Structure 1
Amino acid sequence: MGGSESLPNNSSHVPVMLDPVMHALNVRADGRYIDGTFGAGGYSRAILKAGGAVLAIDRDPSAIVGGASLLEEYGARLRLVEGRFSEMEAIAKDNDFTPADGVVLDVGVSSMQLDQAERGFSFRFDGPLDMRMGADGASAADVVNRASIGDLQRIIGHLGEERRAGRIARAIAAARDEEPITRTATLAAIVEKAAGGRAPGSHIHPATRTFQALRIFINRELDELVEALSAAEQVLGEGGRLVVVAFHSLEDRIVKRFLRLRSEELRGSRHQPLNVGPAPSFTALNRGLKADDAETARNPRSRSAVLRAAERTAAPAHPLDITRLGMPRLVGVAEPEAFA
């Protein structure tokens, strides 16, 4: 990613569902809020304008560099930290930012990352097959060229929810036997041919799910999300708000189940005695809010967005049990680092 001119001051960047996010956060002028996915700084800027203080986190070092102008404008009310949102609890404690009055997460890849060909997130522009949100670890090219056909099939099938995963994995293996796959356009063409082209009437490119799967895998996005939700539960004070905007079913399923498990009362019945468990740590504020027609027309990225919000109770945080959150498990697939 380039300099600061492409980040917070980029007038073309439109934060997804900004008004509903701000309403759900219920920002107070003296409140402290954690933006776990700083990106171009859209949510952070809105919170700062409303008078709140912000601890902003992003694992992309370019996003932190790009926030310099926002730091100059708001000074001590904004703290920018390079890190993963799964590390939110430790980062908040290190910055004396607990308890927090709100946490906001815009989950997934940012529009700036998608728009920069050199990052390799999108096949809209030909670029190196990278997809790393941070500065280290395995790239998408490493996985595509080194993973077994079975591993590729599981990654694409489970994390991309792609029904043609086997066919695509075999096509990738055949192509890399001829020469390494190093460009986004090359991989997109391989996948499109293997998938049989674009379905009639569909606006979705056949490579979309494969690119999604690879990005999620190498960045451990779902594991990061689960740990971030648990960290938010730890850092929020009573009455604090958790607001999450997710963009595909895998993310939203995890958020939905997490909040349901932490907001439901355990009750008995005349047929079964009361099942005593931990008191609810959250009160759900909605059942999933989607962008309205005006926003989707103004900001196409919001079409698939789902906003979920909850308010922290006084009850202790629950133990984290990932087996109940709908996480797809890639049995037998090595960790991303193994392909670097």
Structure 2
Amino acid sequence: MKQVSLAVVGATGMVGRTILKVLEERKLPIEKIYFFSSKRSAGTKITFNGEEYIVEELTEESFDRGIDIALFSAGGSISEKYAPIAASKGCVVVDNSSFWRMDPEVPLVVPEVNPGEISRHKGIIANPNCSTIQAVVALKPLEDKYRIKRIVYSTYQAVSGAGMAGYKDLEEGLKGKAPEKFPHPIAGNCLPHIDVFLPDGYTKEEKKMIDETKKILGRDDLKVTATTVRVPVFNSHSESINVEFEKPFDLEELKEVLKNAPGVIVEDDVSNNIYPLPINASGKDEVFVGRIRRDDSVESGINFWVVADNIRKGAATNTVQIAEELIKMWNEQSGE
């Protein structure tokens, strides 16, 4: 198996630190590893697989050392500038920011859904939005079986999706302190406002979910709408998803399709109060699906509830899974 040289850009942030944890857990064949951050965080010490490393400042020369894969989680402006530089040095970038996602030349990948897209990369692979990732993991097997006509998303998104500042707003808000990250208090509240508002009244987060779902499923014709809401939960996003299909379905068969889907765990026993909960999904890599029921207001529709850890599956784990698929592809190409 190919041993790789790997870099983590944005290693000291919430997602960056989770990437390190996931890399340790999944035991990628890493020969050398480097950690990069802003000038402010450079010099920080990081422990990885029992060894201590010094975080380096990210510069234009950082990739002049034969790095095979770089996992970026440092924001759009960093990715805009440094991802092409890394790619020009023969490094494949897996980028967590939104900057490259809708570029037609850049694959947007969820390994359980469209791993084949990885092979068409030109040095950059985009990691989708956290709320999109968990949705499409559940939607893909249903799309394949029944073909989706329309999707309505309503999300209930944890404060960790807004980084440490969002987390702190909820912690401090529970003590009665004013918010610093959000425009209104999040403690005891729901904010139908994630990212900036666009001229049409949608937020950027809603637009991301709509556009990314179409790209990942390869369905430009798909009708998708979304309302995204920040809720006073520390970690794990929840989503109510309403789907209308082009084909009729048997509800029990549909549940079996989901139970057999990669990365999905069905928790749907309402008689025993069993359904996905964010508190239970936290720290896990799977996407949990429940409250699966027919929507009788349309000819062929369902409602279901989807929950996943937005920092792990919604960011760090999906990034590492893409790296795993890359290594697997390289091994197959070299006959190993």
Q: TM-score, normalised by structure 2?
A: 0.31
More helix by share: 1
More strand by share: 2
